[in-house]
Amino acid sequence: MKKLAFALMLLAGPLLAQETAPQSPAEHIAALEAQAAADAETIAALRARVTQDADDARARVLNLTLELETLRSRQIQLSRDLDVAQRASADAERRMRDAVSDARIQRQRAERAESDRRRAEADARRYRDDARRCR
């Protein structure tokens, strides 16, 4: 909007500066030629500005496209990392369940061994007592 206002001011400036007094045809033609030259300069300046703005916009679009590709690549990598972490977590959970199960089995074996030891001691005491009685 500022650019449009600036362009209108550049175009309107010479028109406002024209005298209201009647001019001869030669003066009028000279004034129109001067106005046309000023308008041509204004148009050239505006074209250069538009070209520069278009170049800037293309560069910005290119930068944003590269940034988007970088973010997509990062998203893919993070997704892969998440998959690896989830598999590792599942493996760790499975190993933990296996370890708990193994510990339960070991505890049961230890309890059975303790029970067997007590039973063997009781049997040994009985055999000794029986042996003493038999003598």
pLDDT for the residue 117:
95
pLDDT for the residue 125:
93
pLDDT for the residue 35:
96
The torsion angles phi and psi of 92, rounded to 5 degrees, stand at: -65, -40
d(CA 31, CA 25): 10
The torsion angles phi and psi of 127, rounded to 5 degrees, stand at: -65, -40
Q: What is the pTM of this model?
A: 0.50
Rounded to the nearest angstrom, the gap between the alpha carbon of residue 3 and the centroid of all alpha carbons in its chain is 36
pLDDT for the residue 131:
85
Burial class (CB in 10 A: 0-12, 13-18, 19+), 31: middle
pLDDT for the residue 21:
55
CB 16 within 8 A of CB 31: no
Residues with Cβ within 8 Å of residue 126, at least 6 apart in sequence:
none
Residue-level pLDDT, tens digit, the chain, 135 residues:
666 666 666 666 655 555 555 679 989 999 999 999 999 999 999 999 999 999 999 999 999 999 999 999 999 999 999 999 999 999 999 999 999 999 999 999 999 999 999 999 999 899 998 888 887
